[in-house]
Amino acid sequence: MSVLRWRGFRAEDACPASLPLVEIGTECMVADTMVEQTNPVAAAESNATVVVDAELGVPSLMAQIVRFDIPQPTSTMHAIEDRYHLNMCLTPRPLSSRGGYAKRWGPHRLERLGDIFLLPPGESLFVKGGSGRQASLICHLDPDLVHGLAGQVLEWDDQHLATTLDIGSARIRAILFRVTEEVRHPGLGWERMLEFLAGELALELARHCLEAAERPITGGLSGWRLRLIDERLSDEHSGHDGRAPTLQELAALCNLSVRQLTRGFRVSRACSIGDYIEQRRMESAKRLLMAGESVKSIAFAMGFASPSSFTFAFRRAVGASPSTFRQRQGRAVS
């Protein structure tokens, strides 16, 4: 049994009870009070407008492409009881976006949200975000599928929950882009394809979570050092020049050796610092593309030898060429 719903078409067979049905292509106004959200398109306070552009569902996976028009910065509590919640921002995520597990960490600890974040079943995530027009792929994945592949029920402590706020896995990102394309343009056998992608996603997620669980809780970088690195990599700090700092520069900033920096960063963020720098550069490139900058000007501003070398790096990281990305995201937020 499955459900297919997209722009004006709605067919429902067996949508999980925990995923309330939302009319596709219609606008929902979100109340001006903070509530604990259980809807898969959990939006925020301040009269944000939410539009579900497209949705595909099979028993193991529910996937939606959702547009948000948020007039002012927001604060939202996300709570999903019985599924893994994955959010991949299709437009650049606001630089001010932060998240924290308030019930675990207390109300004051907030960490940066990456392009992809994960909310495990039974957890509540407090999110503070910026304003503007945004679009996301939102997936709800059956935990039995994930735990079956992992060979155990995954458990999360405070330290390892921090790794869910910025999923840097290139494999997970690639699968989510394939899910996005299938939701946008469902083809022949879309149900079997979505089940296949759900299995791939569950396997990569199980691997990611097991690696996080096995990672030592000591030996990582302190929070203030991670914040220094993020500030150096941010558009605001770099003046939009896109220049990637060297490892020596970041090590000096953190008062560490390069070896201490690289080892500690991998423990803290579950990816190499080189991969993380490249992800942040591509986030900067996305913002410049959405601001109307030319591919040529972005390429040279970011230190690439040519527009073609920038296009190659962008396609490898994002799954689409810069021009295709700009066209898609222009439609996504219009």
For residue 59, name the pLDDT band (cuts at 50, 70, 90). Answer: very high
The per-residue pLDDT for range 143-198, each reduced to its tens digit, is 999 999 989 888 888 777 888 888 878 789 889 989 998 998 898 999 999 999 99
Looking at residue 218, what is its pLDDT? 64
Arch. (CATH architecture) of 3-214: Sandwich (2.60)
May I ask the CATH class of domain 223-333? mainly alpha
Rounded Cα–Cα distance for residues 24 and 8 (Å) = 6
Residue among 91, 193, 73 at smallest CA distance from 134: 91
Ordered DSSP codes for 15-42: --TTS----TT-EEEPPSS--EE-STT-
Mean pLDDT of the chain: 77
Residue among 226, 223, 205 at smallest CA distance from 156: 205
Rounded Cα–Cα distance for residues 145 and 135 (Å) = 27
The mean per-residue pLDDT over the stretch 305-310 comes to 89
**pTM (two decimals):** 0.68
For the chain, the domains span 3-214, 223-333
The per-residue pLDDT for range 228-255, each reduced to its tens digit, is 888 888 754 454 455 678 899 999 999 9
